[in-house]
């Protein structure tokens, strides 16, 4: 099998594929145009897809009729038309579990950074603007005993909830498509409606899979229903938030602060007014950016392709109906 990887990944993943007898191609430069990317995909049996800038939709599959499988170097798969892939008998794999702790670490980091205005105060130090002691300037807030609301209490959300409860004795509420009995039993998490989630959370953290129907889910009408002291955290997908409405909600004090590891679009413009606010912390989508997580992702992505090459079901398949 010939495998195309659009960006370099940890060497172990490449080594695993080559050890399994595959021909691996990685382009010399990573900023591929859409046309370059498409040509490479057309000339290979499998794609190990890094990043979400390219869409695997009906148009893609029509241009790549010989492609046999796709291994995503990610948990999220909102850039893949799974129904179309299944219709064409193309199994698609992702990399769950291995980055749950790392991504929840970033959500936990953002929560604390926003609560204590850490990035704003760090910038003051860098600018030489430390200033005299002011008892009332840029005060933060404490998280002890507050309510953490989670949209999408899966693996990552569970890790975030567990950290927050152990560190700050936070109460956990959540909204899911289904009940999470493990979280309810272990953490005392309470299932609530979406309306209850947004009105009761002191910190609201998004960990759900994104779908087009959820675009701009967090908009002006939602922000105005949240607590004025609440903190909005998103480490899932930038499409969940309307950033114009988020800015307005922050400056009008409808909510207290926001921490984002994902933006809309990515990368965020350096001119974004959100970056001027003292109660906002933005990171450049680093949820899985640890040696351990990225290495684990490389292994799992390689395992998905290797299993396919051996005629086996890929172990981390997001469209299992392809095997029915």
Region 283-298 average pLDDT: 97
* pLDDT at residue 30, rounded to an integer: 80
The reply to whether 192 and 69 lie within a common domain is: no
Region 64-91 average pLDDT: 96
The reply to whether 117 and 165 lie within a common domain is: yes
Q: pTM of this prediction?
A: 0.93
The reply to whether 214 and 259 lie within a common domain is: yes
List, in sequence order, the alpha helices (H) in 50-154. 58-63, 82-87, 100-115, 118-126
Give CA–CA dist 245/217, Å, rounded.
Answer: 11
The reply to whether 70 and 213 lie within a common domain is: no
Give CA–CA dist 204/184, Å, rounded.
Answer: 18
Region 160-185 average pLDDT: 97
Active site residues: 237, 266, 285
* pLDDT at residue 79, rounded to an integer: 94
Which CATH number fits the domain that encloses residue 158? Answer: 3.40.50.720
Which structural domain range is residue 175 located in? 99-282
Beta bridge partners of 171: 147
Token readout for 27 is: 């382009």
Token readout for 190 is: 């309470």
The reply to whether 314 and 231 lie within a common domain is: no
The reply to whether 91 and 109 lie within a common domain is: no
The reply to whether 21 and 91 lie within a common domain is: yes
Give CA–CA dist 312/87, Å, rounded.
Answer: 19
* pLDDT at residue 36, rounded to an integer: 96
The reply to whether 89 and 128 lie within a common domain is: no
Closest CA to 242 of 221, 267, 226: 221
pLDDT band at 296 (very low <50, low <70, confident <90, very high): very high
Give CA–CA dist 207/256, Å, rounded.
Answer: 20
* pLDDT at residue 234, rounded to an integer: 98
The reply to whether 48 and 85 lie within a common domain is: yes
The reply to whether 87 and 109 lie within a common domain is: no
The reply to whether 250 and 277 lie within a common domain is: yes
Total domains, the chain: 2
DSSP letter for 147, please: E
Give CA–CA dist 159/183, Å, rounded.
Answer: 10
pLDDT band at 240 (very low <50, low <70, confident <90, very high): very high
Q: What DSSP string describes 205-270?
A: EE-PPP-GGGTT-B-HHHHTTS-TT-EEEE-S-GGGB-HHHHHHHHHTTSSSEEEESS-SSSSPPT
β-pairing, 92-93 with 147-151? unpaired
Backbone angles phi and psi of 289, in degrees to 5: -85, 65
Q: What DSSP string describes 37-51?
A: HHHHHHT-SEEEE-S
The reply to whether 41 and 155 lie within a common domain is: no
Q: pLDDT tens digits for 93-127?
A: 999 999 999 999 999 999 999 999 999 999 999 99
User: Lowest mean pLDDT: which of 2-6, 8-12, 133-137, 188-192?
Assistant: 133-137
């Amino acid at each position: 099998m010939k495998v195309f990887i659009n960006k370099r990944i940890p060497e172990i993943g490449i080594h695993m594929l080559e050890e399994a007898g595959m021909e691996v191609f990685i382009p010399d430069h990573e900023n591929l145009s859409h046309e370059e990317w498409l040509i490479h995909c057309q000339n290979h049996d499998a794609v190990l897809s890094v990043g979400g800038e390219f869409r695997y939709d009906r148009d893609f599959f029509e241009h790549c009729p010989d492609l046999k499988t796709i291994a995503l170097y990610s948990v999220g798969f909102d850039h893949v038309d799974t129904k179309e892939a299944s219709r064409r008998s193309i199994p698609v794999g992702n990399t769950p579990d291995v980055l749950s702790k790392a991504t929840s670490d970033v959500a936990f980091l953002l929560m604390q950074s926003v609560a204590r205005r850490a990035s704003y105060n760090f910038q003051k130090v860098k600018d030489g603007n430390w200033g005299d002691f002011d008892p009332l300037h840029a005060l933060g807030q404490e998280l002890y005993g507050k309510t953490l609301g989670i949209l999408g209490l899966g693996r990552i959300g569970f890790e975030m909830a567990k950290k927050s409860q152990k560190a700050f004795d936070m109460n956990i509420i959540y909204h899911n498509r289904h009940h999470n009995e493990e979280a309810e039993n272990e953490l005392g998490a309470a299932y609530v409606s979406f309306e209850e989630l947004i009105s009761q959370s002191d910190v609201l953290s998004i960990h759900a899979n994104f779908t087009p129907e959820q675009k701009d889910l967090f908009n002006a009408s939602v922000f105005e229903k949240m607590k004025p002291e609440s903190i909005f955290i998103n480490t899932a997908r930038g499409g969940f938030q309307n950033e114009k409405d988020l800015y307005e909600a922050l400056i009008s004090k409808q909510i207290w602060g926001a921490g984002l590891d994902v933006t809309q679009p990515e990368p965020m413009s350096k001119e974004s007014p959100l970056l001027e606010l003292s109660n906002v912390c933005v990171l450049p989508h680093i949820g899985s950016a640890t040696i351990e997580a990225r290495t684990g992702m490389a292994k799992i992505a390689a395992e998905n392709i290797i299993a396919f090459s051996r005629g086996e079901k890929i172990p981390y398949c997001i469209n299992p109906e392809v095997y029915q």
